[in-house]
Structure 1
Amino acid sequence: MIKTTICSSFVWCSCSIVFYGMTFGAHGLTGNLYLNIFILTICDLPIRAFIFWFLRRFGRKWSSIAFLFFGGLCLVATVIIKNTADAQYKDHLIRTMAVLAKAAIGGAWTTMYIYTNELYPTVVRTIGVGVSQIFSRVGGIMAPLVLLMGEDNIVVPFVTMGCFIIISAACLFLLPETKGRPLEDTLKKKAKVEFVEIPKQEEGRTFEANIPETETVAFL
């Protein structure tokens, strides 16, 4: 549970930093400010509409990893565009990468809502998800501070946020896939299951089955 809590909390915190950081950093993009805010607000709606298809097709873990890696690479790519792209297309490409990253993070965060709930047993599920929610609020507090790293160059906070997201994707490799797995109810280790075939009772004789009390038995 400790590994699960640390990894999920870091992912939630990173998603919050990027999600709110991209919105607060809309002023650093070229073009109309209000149009940029509008596009960054609605860009993740198409992915959210198909999120359940991704979850059923690829699973919770790999969907989250894919969204996080894609979003992180888009943000890190802005520094390459800044230094190599033609001045005519540079600002448009950076704005496009920002929109794609925001959409991917929206999909990743939506996936994490479901994935985190399935990682914890029933007895501690609300506590585990609550801790992740707390760290997401911490990420929301950190988002404006990350933007202050590059007041004159929006690429600097974009690359910083991209590194957070890529590290978060790497953390998810440590967690199990929950697609098709029954939800656990307790923290106890599952009892070993054995199938015992009990012969028919003969007339005039009794039969006693030697069954360990600590194991769960299914009778055939």
Structure 2
Amino acid sequence: MSGDLYVNCLLSAVMELVAYTGAWLALKVTSRRAIMSSTLLIGGTVLLLIQMVPEKFSSFSVGLAMVGKLGVAAAYSVIYIMAMELYPTVVRGMGVGVCSMSSEIGSISSPFLVFMGTYYKALPYIVMGLLTLAVGLLSLLLPETQGIALPEDLSQVQPLNCCCYRGEPAAEPEAFKEDQLSAEDRNVQMKE
């Protein structure tokens, strides 16, 4: 990015604060899948648009980069909440750990993506924008987790929202039915 390095770093930090606060407020009123996909799609689109801005409008390109940063940071803050709600209890820790490890692989590879900019200045923006758009579209396949009971075992995991899926919807698992029983019914069943 052009401009003062320190100002750009300050703007980046402010965008993270705005993204985390905005995502926290949006989680209270909007579905998790909508937040995840919309922020990633906005971030990816903005990162692809940066290369079309002429160099004489450098402050506009910095502004677009900050909007992209805002979108990706908001999605990053929601992914941990969504991951905890998607994985069943028996593998929740391992699932969130795999998500965390995957994000660290992205962090490790990011300097190499930036290095590609020495060959062609817009290449890092193109690669990161396309990857962000692809992940935003793939996140639409995830099931909605807001207001749904957390799965306890693997049989309770919701299927992906794939247009290619032609199977019958799964019957309600027994564990969910047991959760709906009253305390008296559970005591009677335990005595038997």
Mean CA deviation greater in 95-104 or 34-43 = 34-43
Q: RMSD across aligned C-alpha pairs, in angstroms?
A: 1.9
Name 1:202's counterpart in structure 2: none
Looking at structure 1, the residues matched to 112 and 119 of structure 2 have their Cα atoms a distance apart, in angstroms, of 14
Identity over aligned residues, as a percent? Answer: 28
Structure 1 residue 152: deviation in Å? 6.1
Which runs of no fewer than 5 residues in structure 1 stay unpaired? 1-28, 194-216
Alignment of 1:104 onto 2:76: no
Looking at structure 1, the residues matched to 42 and 123 of structure 2 have their Cα atoms a distance apart, in angstroms, of 18
Looking at structure 1, the residues matched to 119 and 27 of structure 2 have their Cα atoms a distance apart, in angstroms, of 39
State the aligned residue count: 162
Looking at structure 2, the residues matched to 69 and 148 of structure 1 have their Cα atoms a distance apart, in angstroms, of 24
- The one-character-per-residue Cα deviations of 1:57-94 (angstroms, maximum 9, x if unpaired) are 22111100010001001100012224xxxx532x1121
Structure 1 residue 96: deviation in Å? 0.8
Looking at structure 2, the residues matched to 51 and 146 of structure 1 have their Cα atoms a distance apart, in angstroms, of 27
Name 2:52's counterpart in structure 1: 80
Looking at structure 1, the residues matched to 18 and 43 of structure 2 have their Cα atoms a distance apart, in angstroms, of 15
Q: Is the 8 A contact 1:67 1:107 kept in 2?
A: yes
Name 2:61's counterpart in structure 1: 94
Which runs of no fewer than 5 residues in structure 2 stay unpaired? 157-172, 178-188
Q: Is the 8 A contact 2:22 2:74 kept in 1?
A: no
4+ residue runs of structure 1 moved beyond 4 angstroms? none
Give the number of the structure whose residues are more often helix, by fraction: 2
The structure with higher relative contact order (CA 8 Å, sep 6+) is: 1
Looking at structure 1, the residues matched to 22 and 30 of structure 2 have their Cα atoms a distance apart, in angstroms, of 12
Looking at structure 1, the residues matched to 147 and 121 of structure 2 have their Cα atoms a distance apart, in angstroms, of 42
Q: How does 1:176-195 map to 2 (within 5 A)?
A: 176-189=143-156, 190-191=173-174
Looking at structure 1, the residues matched to 119 and 135 of structure 2 have their Cα atoms a distance apart, in angstroms, of 27
Letter in 1 for 2:15: C
Name 2:115's counterpart in structure 1: 148
Q: Is the 8 A contact 1:44 1:104 kept in 2?
A: no
**Secondary structure of 2:59's match?**
helix
- The one-character-per-residue Cα deviations of 1:151-196 (angstroms, maximum 9, x if unpaired) are 2654220111010100001111211000110101111351285xxx
Q: Is the 8 A contact 2:11 2:66 kept in 1?
A: yes
